[in-house]
Amino acid sequence: MKVLSLFDGMSCGQIALERAGIKVDNYFASEIDKYAIQITQKNYPKTIQLGDVTNINTNDLPKIDLLIGGSPCQGFSFAGKQLNFEDPRSKLFFEYVNLKNKLKPAYFLLENVKMKKEYQNIISKHLGVEPIEINSSLVSAQNRKRLYWTNIPGIAQPEDKGILLKDTIEGGGVDRDKSYCLDANYFKGTNLEQYLKKCRRQIVFNYSSSGKGHGIVEDRFYNSTLGKAHALTAAGYSKRSFSRVYNKDGIRKLTNIECERLQTIPDNYTEGVSNTQRYKMIGNGWTVDVIAHIFKGLLNENI
């Protein structure tokens, strides 16, 4: 199979294809972030990097069997300003459409955030299919609702694996069953008060050797190692809920490895660049097991 991945990032698509048991002959990747490219080439050195999506010459490509991509979502996200197709990043969706129309791949997959129905309908019209909504919480410890447009046959909801956030972290306790949705800004928010009250980022509670939580004064944070968390977003933790439950020794951010696990990426897949860049690319990436679930629909196809 010959694959073209647009907005490839750190190549979660290749991990998913491998995990789904799909043999890939050539994997072409369009990406401009040098750190994401570095991680891709570290893990998949045979990747053929094409650079900027706007500069791809289709005459230089063979027949593409599978076109995949998750075009930048900042213009569509409910967490953002929702500038929709006027946002220059979201306009890149039309680069995906243009290449799909020129290359005519047998199969395609486009991922994006939940958005207003009017924007969703525009994408559906251009791609000729309606999306399926899948929450990553079914296959991971992260709440992450995304839309997937594809013509890969037989796609249904994945089976719930029952993975909890408390089973994902390297140590400490958590305040919910599933994490907040990871995003590319998770590395931000170094000021503790801002981090809790405004950033709505997932936290982990540190425990002393006696098993008690440092700085946690509300009993509800102690019960049964505290379950799964909501998805990490750029909105804010409520001031009412969190203003009394922390000190500098009592909480921490998710580690890079914990974030990789929330995205069902192999531990230390992103190792080799700064922590800031690791957090950024993990937040921008796909939940691999969701994509692998979709790709399994190709196993019985004659490609």
In a domain, 35, yes or no: yes
Cα–Cα distance measured from residue 115 to residue 104, given in angstroms and rounded to the nearest whole number: 27
CATH number of the domain residue 56 falls in: 3.40.50.150
Is 199 considered catalytic here? no
**What is the DSSP code string of 27-87?**
EEEE---HHHHHHHHHH-TT-EE---GGG--GGGS---SEEEE----TTT-TTS---GGGS
Q: Is residue 17 part of a domain?
A: yes
Read off the tokens for 221.
Answer: 């944070």
Query: Residues 213, 206: contact at Cβ < 8 Å?
Result: yes
Q: What is the pLDDT of residue 71?
A: 79
What is the full per-residue pLDDT of the chain (303 aa) written as tens digits?
999 999 999 999 999 999 999 999 999 999 999 999 999 999 999 999 999 999 999 999 999 999 999 977 554 444 445 445 555 556 788 899 999 999 999 999 999 998 889 889 989 999 999 999 999 999 999 999 999 999 999 999 999 999 999 999 998 888 889 998 988 888 775 565 665 555 567 888 876 434 444 444 333 333 333 344 444 333 333 333 332 333 455 778 899 999 999 999 999 999 999 999 999 999 999 999 999 999 999 998 887
* Matching residue, tokens 């192999």: 266
Domain count, the chain: 1
- Note the pLDDT of residue 193: 61
What is the 8-class DSSP label of residue 254? P
CA dist 223 and 226 (Å) reads: 6
Q: What is the 3-state secondary structure (H, E, C) of 189-228?
A: CCCHHHHHHCCCCCEEECECCCCCECCCCCHHHCHHHHCE
Structural domain contains residue 7:
yes
Q: Residue 267: helix, strand or coil by DSSP?
A: coil
Indicate whether 55 belongs to any domain: yes
| Residue 109 is assigned to a structural domain of this protein | yes
CA atoms within 13 A on the CB side of 211: 4
| Catalytic-role residue among 12, 73, 181, 259 | 73
Containing domain of residue 22, as a range?
A: 2-153+286-298
Residue 199's pLDDT is what?
Answer: 55
Q: Strand 132-135 and strand 107-113: pairing? A: unpaired
Whether residue 268 lies inside any domain: the answer is: no
With respect to residue 142, please indicate whether it lies within any of the assigned structural domains.
yes
**Residue listed under structure tokens 């500069």:** 55
In a domain, 81, yes or no: yes
State residue 119's pLDDT score: 85
